[in-house]
Amino acid sequence: MTEQPPDVESAGENVAGETPVAEPEAVTDETTVHDDDVELERTIGLVGGLAIGIGTMIGAGIFVFPGLAANNAGLAATLSFAIGGLIALLVALPTSELATAMPRSGGGYYFISRGMGTAYGAIVGLGLWLGLMFASAFYLVGLGHYASAVFAELGVSLPFSPVIGIGLLFGAALTALSIGGTENTAKIQNVVVGILLVVLTAFLSYGVLDAVGVFGGGTVPEQFFSRGYFPVLTTAALVFTSYLGFAQVATVAGEIKQPGRNLPLAMVGSVLVVTVFYVVTIFVATSAFGADRLGQFGETAMVEVAREFLGLPGAVAILGAGLLATFSSANASILSASRAVYALSRDALLPRKASEVNLRYGTPHVALLAAGGPILVLVATGQVELLAEVASFLHLIMYGLMCVALIVLRRRNPEWYSPSYRVPGYPVVPAVGTLASFGLIAFMQPASIGIGIVVMLVSYLWYRYYAGSVTLKGDI
Amino acid sequence: MTDRPSILVPLRVLEGESVPEGVPELLANAHVVLLGYHVVPEQTAPGQAQMQFEDRATERLDEYQAMFEEAGATVERRLVFTHDGQKTIDRTTTEHDCLAALVPNATGPVEDVLVAVRGTVGVDRLARVVAGLFGATDASVTLYHVSEEAETDEDVATLLDGLADRLEDQGMDASRIETRVGRGQAALDAIVDAADAFDVVVMGESDPSLATFVFGMPADQVADRFLGPVLVVQREPSEETE
């Protein structure tokens, strides 16, 4: 067992007079130890970690974005996804190092607040919480599109578009399910991810063989940069929402067994897996129809792609997979958002009440409602691209700052900082990661950037008002 | 006197499980590893439950610790918040090198102990638990083996006498040790039937097999059907596989 005493001291109190909870005495492979005889058990293994990462990510990139991305960038959308994957990897590596040094609940928020101070932490922590809400809302709208497509497939024509209504319904249902204490959510997540990967692998293998001409199709007709070069980058900024999942692994870092080994493997592994799937998906999808027609299909373009290759059974399989995937992404994000609330209230940046556990169900009902409620408001807007971009923006800020935090920590080298995994290529990798994260923001729509900045500003003002005297930075 | 055997006493401390009557006296000669644990659903970070319930749980454990110490046991304790109670129990057993775990049920003064002996494996640990806990008391110990068809009486006698010898080596009076053999019944039913006349059952933990995944560990089944406490002697810790 490796004993790593985090030994980060926190101080100060918030408006309500609450102080940050004491830091643990030691972190071992199996537990987090407080006060000598109180332990928090680590119960999520490598498979569980991968399932959280892949399960959160695989919904958006494959089932919502292909049509939108192809519409923007043509076949070059494959490159957009590859760029997104590369940036995610550049951030996942430094995140892994931070996570092995500080395997605690809260992920990016925890690393930044301990590495760079409370103000940055508060902006990122509240930003992460809100960013996850935007992401969940985005997944739920995607789910609404898939559920509507099911109605269309069944030949039921509705006089209105059911997309938002279904999104709201599922949002409310997911929140209620989480509060009611569904058992074995993690096991279900593992199974769902397994099924998705099998269905997608089969489908994509067939699609690739078809696209390169094995079955006589042989249609890779397009000019690669059919929309020019610039849209490749704006599309990368848009679809970056597909890569938010690895950070969700870090939000449950406190519950991962053998964190020194499993955290880096789960984060980097899940990014690599989904990048391959995304790139191949866009390639197959654009080969089947060409970017123009694919773009017209919108959010459920993949259903048409499947129908083109495999007929009605293909369409049904992808519809089912799309429902599962968007559902599991939304679910994972709501749970991560409640973990973020817990981490913030533990550090007295939010009222302690916010992470109160329900006596009857044992679930953090206030935190879950605090995530679920605003999500419904966001779903009601129905703005897929805007929701996705704001979620990306808030995460990209966090990613950039995580890379900075890593550089700061390495330079100051405080006594407690002893990661068991060290990022290769320091300082180039975290520096490039920072630049890439912040750089990608420049290619977003002004509206998304504006909303994102407002969120950050409000977060900062909240911190000044509510917890101005709290310091979390520790002995560095 | 022999060394105090370490006995794990797991309690779901926030769900009303407490130390039943008679149990502190039963473990008076033991080194008690008192494990208070609380299982939280996967939606909840264990730390969240800790923030809210630590004080209450600590208070209860203080109380229980005092009860065991009053009876004469030495006590070491853990409070664990977990998603997976079984993992917590297994880990604590290994980390504290516990010889046995107690399934706590109420009991009166212990006069008769039933020791279910399965085979030669683990006999050493079984002997250490029985001798350690009951060596210095007046309780009588019955070594019980349910034999299978292929086993000869000699095999069984060798097994039970071997254990009896060990107990005597560790200072137990031979007159307090009886042996008994059961036949023609499924081991589990036989043990439960025989247990009726006893205050405590000591038995070995069996290997996890498919049947135990479906029906639960035999020890758990005995504990469910027998109303008194059951001491489950743990397997020799295997070499680290990970």
Contact A271, A125 (CB under 8 A): no
Residues of A in contact with B62 (CB under 8 A): none
Rounded Cα gap, residues A314 and B24, in angstroms: 65
End-to-end CA distance of chain B: 37
Angle at A425 between CA A421 and CA A426, to 5 degrees: 75
pLDDT in tens for each of the 476 residues of chain A? 344 444 456 667 777 777 777 777 777 888 888 877 889 999 899 999 999 999 888 887 888 888 888 888 888 888 999 999 999 999 999 999 999 998 888 888 999 998 888 899 999 999 989 999 999 999 999 999 999 988 888 887 777 778 899 999 999 998 988 888 666 667 788 888 999 999 999 989 988 888 777 665 555 555 777 777 888 999 998 889 889 888 889 988 889 999 999 999 999 999 999 999 999 998 888 888 888 888 888 888 889 888 888 888 888 888 999 998 998 888 888 888 888 888 999 888 888 888 888 878 888 899 899 888 999 999 998 888 899 899 999 999 999 999 999 999 999 888 888 888 999 888 899 999 999 999 999 999 999 999 999 999 999 999 999 887 887 765 33
Nearest to B43 among A41, A43, A335 (CB): A335
B42 and chain A: CB distance < 8 Å anywhere? yes
Nearest to A338 among B43, B52, B88 (CB): B43
Rounded Cα gap, residues A450 and A273, in angstroms: 32
Kind and range of the H or E element at A81?
Answer: helix A77-101
Distance from CA of B93 to the nearest CA of A (A): 13
Tally the C-alpha atoms within 13 A of residue A358's C-alpha that lie toward its C-beta. 18
Residues of B in contact with A262 (CB under 8 A): none
Mark yes or no for CB contact A352/B42 under 8 Å: no
Contact A7, A475 (CB under 8 A): yes
Mark yes or no for CB contact B51/A38 under 8 Å: no
Mark yes or no for CB contact A21/B51 under 8 Å: yes
- Nearest Cα neighbor of B67 from B11, B28, B108 is B28
- Nearest Cα neighbor of A131 from A440, A375, A414, A361 is A375
3-state SS assignment for residue A6 = coil
- Nearest Cα neighbor of B100 from B198, B4, B222, B214 is B4
Tally the C-alpha atoms within 13 A of residue A290's C-alpha that lie toward its C-beta. 7
Exposure string of A2-33, with b = 16+ CB inside 10 Å and e = fewer, is: eebebebebeeebeeebebbebbebbbbbbbb
Please give the order of strands across the beta sheet that includes A31-34: A26-27, A31-34, A38-41, B74-82, B31-39, B6-12, B100-103, B230-233, B200-204, B112-116, B140-146, B177-182
How high is the ipTM of this complex?
0.84
Residue A322 in tokens: 């799309």
Mark yes or no for CB contact A41/B79 under 8 Å: no
Mark yes or no for CB contact A37/B50 under 8 Å: no
Contacts of A158 (CB under 8 A, 6+ apart): A151
CA A62 to chain centre: 14
pLDDT in tens for each of the 242 residues of chain B? 447 899 999 999 888 888 888 899 999 999 999 999 999 888 888 888 888 899 999 999 999 999 999 999 999 999 999 988 888 988 898 888 888 889 888 888 888 999 988 777 778 888 889 988 888 888 889 998 888 777 788 888 888 888 888 888 888 888 888 888 887 777 788 888 888 888 999 988 766 555 555 556 677 778 778 888 889 888 776 644 43
Nearest residue in chain B measured CA to CA from A258: B242
Distance from CA of A106 to the nearest CA of B (A): 10
Mark yes or no for CB contact A357/B79 under 8 Å: no
Contacts of A271 (CB under 8 A, 6+ apart): A53, A57, A85, A88, A89, A92, A243, A246
Mark yes or no for CB contact A254/B78 under 8 Å: no
Taking one residue from A and the other from B, the number of pairs with CB-CB distance under 8 angstroms is: 99
B56 and chain A: CB distance < 8 Å anywhere? no
DSSP A142-185: HHHHHHHHHHHHTT---SS--HHHHHHHHHHHHHHHHHHT-TTH
Question: Which residue out of B35, B42, B83, B86 would a mutagenesis test of the A interface target, given it has the greatest number of A Cβ atoms within 10 Å?
Answer: B42
Tally the C-alpha atoms within 13 A of residue A278's C-alpha that lie toward its C-beta. 33
Amino acid in the structure at residue A79: L
Nearest to A41 among B54, B84, B242 (CB): B84
Q: What is the 3-state secondary structure (H, E, C) of chain B?
A: CCCCCEEEEEEEHHHCCCCCCCHHHHCCCCEEEEEEEEECCCCCCHHHHHHHHHHHHHHHHHHHHHHHHHHCCEEEEEEEEECCHHHHHHHHHHHCCCCEEEECCCCCCCCEEEEECCCCCCHHHHHHHHHHHHCCCCCEEEEEEECCCCCCHHHHHHHHHHHHHHHHHCCCCHHHEEEEEECCCCHHHHHHHHHCCCCEEEEECCCCCHHHHHHCCHHHHHHHHCCCCEEEECCCCCCCCC
Amino acid in the structure at residue A226: S
Distance from CA of A186 to the nearest CA of B (A): 7
Residues of B in contact with A43 (CB under 8 A): 82-84, 87
Interface of B with A in 183-212 (CB under 8 A): none
Question: Helices A446-467 and A118-153 sit at what angle, rounded to 10 degrees?
Answer: 130
Q: What is the CA radius of gyration of chain A?
A: 22
Question: Helices A77-101 and A428-441 sit at what angle, rounded to 10 degrees?
Answer: 130
Q: For the whole model, what pTM was predicted?
A: 0.85
Rounded Cα gap, residues A159 and A156, in angstroms: 10
Rounded Cα gap, residues A130 and A247, in angstroms: 14
Mark yes or no for CB contact B50/A362 under 8 Å: no
Nearest residue in chain B measured CA to CA from A37: B78
Question: Helices A65-73 and A46-63 sit at what angle, rounded to 10 degrees?
Answer: 50
Distance from CA of A93 to the nearest CA of B (A): 25
Cα distances from A468 to residues A130, A301, A398, in angstroms, run: 20, 48, 21
Amino acid in the structure at residue B68: F
**The pairing of beta strand B230-233 with beta strand B100-103:** antiparallel
- Nearest Cα neighbor of A472 from A108, A11, A13, A123 is A11
Rounded Cα gap, residues B118 and B146, in angstroms: 8
B91 and chain A: CB distance < 8 Å anywhere? yes
Contact A93, A268 (CB under 8 A): yes
B62 and chain A: CB distance < 8 Å anywhere? no
**The pairing of beta strand B177-182 with beta strand A26-27:** unpaired
Distance from CA of A178 to the nearest CA of B (A): 6
Mark yes or no for CB contact B83/A183 under 8 Å: no
Rounded Cα gap, residues A176 and B87, in angstroms: 28
Tally the C-alpha atoms within 13 A of residue A422's C-alpha that lie toward its C-beta. 8
